[in-house]
């Protein structure tokens, strides 16, 4: 058994941490305040080859390992959770399905610029009436000659509007449930594709959650990803990997809160001594640190399984469930420890608390993770 990172992975963490602290962290508060999409951060990450870490160099990636990618999501999220999810959604949800199911032509046309960071990707499954019940999507795709015609709308799409390339799920056979769903690669600018409402969110305010509208949208036949009817499988397998990314994002948020608290309790004086000297606070910190460590082990265990081609669906669900709930708990506790100051925008813990909440919701709610875990255990 070996719990250590390789020297290469250690250097990835060191370099990304320095990059994140100097380039990403100083802007996090401002991005949260204005809700602007952080194009500068995306550009910087692209220049540092961070937008396609686990994909081969021949497809524009950095030719690295999955664990290094997860380290990067954690460290970027520790600095700015909004930027973390932009990276995670792009890499795990948009690049991955093209890498896994794309034809050689699709990979060359779409994966190469995505993995190089020249283009940004998004994944579009959720609809107003199909959240947890993803098989209930109503967007349709009808084959007409050499192209499909898409009609319907998607909501809460991360990177929506900012992205150039979208993995869109639509029903090619309305008579079927999950088996009637197909996946398509849709470019921004395809006729009939437009961006609708951009959500005002509680947290991760710099990231986009947008509505996508398809009105007789023309998608060339060769942009079908995988085969007709494979869409639901593609979505589910892709989300399994995405959950490791969100687990890492949650872990980064939780670590940031723990770091802030560790600093604060040594500085803040009450009753004539630093509040960190009080056992009540020490117990909080011990509990927070233990949960963060447990979350870290679950996240990297899932990443390690994926890296080593072992099954990881259940482990990814466990990692995402535990890390996101840990992030919520630790950030809430951090606000409590900071007291009145913690409730103000003078300190980052209130932002961390708002950012943490979404990790329990997107890419499968905590309840969905429990469904996945239980079905793996019970097999009934």
- Residues identified as active-site: 363
- Of 29, 35, 36, 63, the residue at the interface with other proteins (CB under 8 A) is 63
Residue nearer to other proteins on the CB measure, 62 or 157: 62
Residue nearer to other proteins on the CB measure, 5 or 365: 5
264: nearest Cα among 360, 352, 358: 352
Q: State in angstroms the smallest separation of the CB of 118 from other proteins.
A: 14
Residue nearer to other proteins on the CB measure, 7 or 104: 7
Residue 7 binding other proteins, by CB under 8 A: yes
Residues 28-47 that bind other proteins (CB under 8 A): 47
* SS3 per residue for the chain: CCCCCCHHHHHHHHHHHHHHHHHHHHHHHHHHHHCCCCHHHHHHHHHCCCCCCCCCHHHCCCCCCHHHHHHHHHHHHHHCHHHHHHHHHHHHHHHHHHHHHCCHHHHHHHHHHHHHCCCCEEEECCECCECCCHHHCCCEEEEECCEEEEEEEEEEEECCCCCCEEEEEEECCCCCCHHHEEEEEEECCCCCEEEEEECCCCCCCCCCEEEEEEEEEEEEHHHEECCCCCHHHHHHHHHHHHHHHHHHHHHHHHHHHHHHHHHHHHHCEECCEEHHHCHHHHHHHHHHHHHHHHHHHHHHHHHHHHHCCCCCHHHHHHHHHHHHHHHHHHHHHHHHHHHHHHHCCCCCHHHHHHHHHHHCCCCCCHHHHHHHHHHHHHCC
Residue 369 binding other proteins, by CB under 8 A: no
Residue 19 binding other proteins, by CB under 8 A: yes
Q: State in angstroms the smallest separation of the CB of 12 from other proteins.
A: 6
Residue 15 binding other proteins, by CB under 8 A: yes
Residue 277 binding other proteins, by CB under 8 A: no
Residue nearer to other proteins on the CB measure, 35 or 276: 276
Q: Say how many CA atoms lie within 13 Å of 35 toward its Cβ.
A: 9
Residue 289 binding other proteins, by CB under 8 A: no
Q: State in angstroms the smallest separation of the CB of 297 from other proteins.
A: 22
Residue 64 binding other proteins, by CB under 8 A: yes
Residue nearer to other proteins on the CB measure, 100 or 269: 269
- Of 24, 28, 42, 62, the residue at the interface with other proteins (CB under 8 A) is 62
Residues 242-271 that bind other proteins (CB under 8 A): 267-269
Contact string 71-110 vs other proteins (x = CB under 8 A): -x--------------------------------------
Which one of the spans 58-66, 76-84, 187-195, 315-323 is the region binding other proteins (CB under 8 A)? 58-66
Residue nearer to other proteins on the CB measure, 18 or 287: 18
Residues in contact with other proteins, counted by CB under 8 A, come to a total of 24
Q: State in angstroms the smallest separation of the CB of 321 from other proteins.
A: 29
Burial classification of residue 147, based on how many CB atoms lie within 10 Å of its CB (0-12 exposed, 13-18 middle, 19 or more buried): middle
What residues make contact with other proteins under the rule CB under 8 A?
7-8, 11-12, 14-16, 18-19, 47-50, 53, 57, 62-64, 68, 72, 267-269, 346
């Amino acid at each position: 058994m070996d719990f250590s990172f390789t020297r290469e992975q250690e250097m990835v963490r060191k370099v990304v941490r320095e990059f994140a602290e100097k380039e990403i962290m100083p802007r996090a508060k401002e991005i949260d305040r204005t809700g602007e999409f952080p194009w500068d951060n995306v550009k910087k990450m692209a220049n540092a080859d961070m937008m396609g870490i686990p994909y081969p160099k021949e497809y524009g990636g950095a030719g690295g390992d999955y664990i290094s990618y997860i380290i990067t999501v954690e460290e970027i999220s520790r600095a700015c959770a909004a930027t973390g999810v932009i990276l995670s959604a792009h890499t795990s949800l948009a690049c991955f399905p093209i890498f896994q199911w794309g034809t050689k032509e699709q990979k060359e046309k779409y994966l190469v610029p995505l993995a190089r960071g020249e283009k940004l990707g998004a994944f579009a499954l959720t609809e107003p009436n199909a959240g947890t019940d993803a098989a209930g999507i109503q967007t349709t795709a009808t084959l007409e000659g050499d192209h499909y015609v898409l009609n319907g709308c998607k909501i809460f799409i991360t990177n929506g509007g900012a992205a150039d390339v979208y993995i869109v799920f639509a029903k090619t056979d309305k008579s079927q449930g999950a088996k009637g769903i197909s996946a398509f690669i849709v470019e921004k600018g395809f006729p009939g594709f437009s961006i609708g409402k951009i959500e005002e969110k509680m947290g991760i305010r710099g990231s986009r959650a947008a509505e996508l509208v398809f009105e007789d949208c023309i998608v060339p036949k060769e942009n079908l990803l995988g085969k007709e009817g494979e869409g639901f499988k593609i979505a589910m397998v892709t989300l399994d990997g995405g959950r490791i990314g969100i687990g890492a994002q949650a872990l980064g948020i939780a670590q940031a809160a723990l770091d802030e608290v560790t600093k604060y309790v040594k500085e803040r004086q009450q009753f004539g001594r630093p509040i960190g000297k009080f056992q009540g606070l020490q117990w909080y910190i011990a509990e927070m640190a233990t949960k963060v460590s447990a979350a870290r082990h679950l996240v990297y265990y899932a990443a390690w399984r994926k890296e080593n081609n072992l099954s990881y669906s259940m482990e990814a669900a466990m990692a995402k469930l535990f890390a996101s709930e840990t992030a919520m708990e630790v950030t809430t506790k951090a606000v409590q420890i900071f007291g009145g100051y913690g409730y103000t925008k003078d300190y980052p813990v209130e932002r961390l608390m708002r950012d943490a909440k979404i990790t329990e919701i997107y890419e499968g709610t905590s309840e969905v993770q429990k469904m996945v875990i239980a079905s793996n255990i019970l097999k009934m």
